[in-house]
Amino acid sequence: DAGITQSPRHKVTETGTPVTLRCHQTENHRYMYWYRQDPGHGLRLIHYSYGVKDTDKGEVSDGYSVSRSKTEDFLLTLESATSSQTSVYFCAISDGAGGYEDTQYFGPGTRLTVL
Amino acid sequence: SQQGEEDPQALSIQEGENATMNCSYKTSINNLQWYRQNSGRGLVHLILIRSNEREKHSGRLRVTLDTSKKSSSLLITASRAADTASYFCALQPSGGSYIPTFGRGTSLIVHP
Distance from CA of B66 to the nearest CA of A (A): 18
Distance from CA of B103 to the nearest CA of A (A): 6
Residue A42 sits at the chain B interface (C-beta within 8 Å): yes
pLDDT at B2 over 80: no
Do residues B47 and B59 touch, judged by C-beta distance below 8 A?
A: no
Q: State the Cα torsion A113-B3-B9-B14 to the nearest 10°.
A: -110
Query: In this structure, how many other beta carbons lie within 10 angstroms of the beta carbon of residue A105?
Result: 20
Q: How confident is the model over B23-65, as pLDDT tens digits?
A: 999 989 999 999 999 999 999 999 999 999 999 999 999 999 9
Contact B104 A41 (CB under 8 A): yes
Which residues of chain A register pLDDT less than 50? none
Task: Report CA A24 to chain centroid distance, whole Å.
Answer: 10
Dihedral sign, Cα of residue B55, residue B56, residue B59, residue B60: negative
Contact A42 B105 (CB under 8 A): yes
Residue A51 sits at the chain B interface (C-beta within 8 Å): no
Identify all chain A residues contacting B5, using CB atoms and an 8 Å cutoff.
Answer: none
